[in-house]
Amino acid sequence: MSIQQIRVSETHGTRSRYTAGCLCTPCRAANAQYVADLRHRRRIGQVIFGARRDATDAQRWLTQLHRDGFTSTRLAHELGLHGPQVKVHPTITVRKHLRIQRVYQKFIGGAA
């Protein structure tokens, strides 16, 4: 869906309408509420799965798994990815980090 389609289909007073570019008061209020909720969740220590974090540990775990004979296709399958490759950028989501950590602990064992 394009930004123009979102602007037409979304009602005012939603964060999605705000992120599409609407600056009306109800849309700004919806975004402010979202930001306040996000800050509160971080303050109480709740894990935010979409947040980004450094991928150094994940890269190290994947390298170790490759050295132990796991193919990229096998790792992608274990991680629940649709493609045959595992791509790790300098930063990854918390969700992907936890998936890689789970697979590493499952096959290598011990705490990561």
> What confidence tens digit (pLDDT) does each residue in 14-57 have?
999 999 999 999 999 999 999 999 899 889 988 888 889 999 99
> What confidence tens digit (pLDDT) does each residue in 71-112 have?
999 999 999 988 888 888 999 999 999 999 999 999 987 654
Residues 63 and 27 in one domain: no
State the pLDDT at residue 104: 94
pTM, entire model: 0.64
**Domain that residue 73 falls in:** 52-108
Residues 58 and 88 in one domain: yes
Total domains present in the chain: 2
> Which two tokens mark 19?
């992120």
Helix, strand counts (H, E) of the chain? 6, 2
Cα–Cα distance measured from residue 68 to residue 2, given in angstroms and rounded to the nearest whole number: 44
Residues 35 and 67 in one domain: no
pLDDT beyond 80 at 5: no
- Angle among Cα 83, 84, 87 to the nearest 5 degrees reads 80
Residues 31 and 70 in one domain: no
Burial class (CB in 10 A: 0-12, 13-18, 19+), 64: middle
Residues 61 and 104 in one domain: yes
Residues 101 and 56 in one domain: yes
User: Which of 51, 52, 10, 45 lies closest to 31 in space, CA to CA?
Assistant: 10
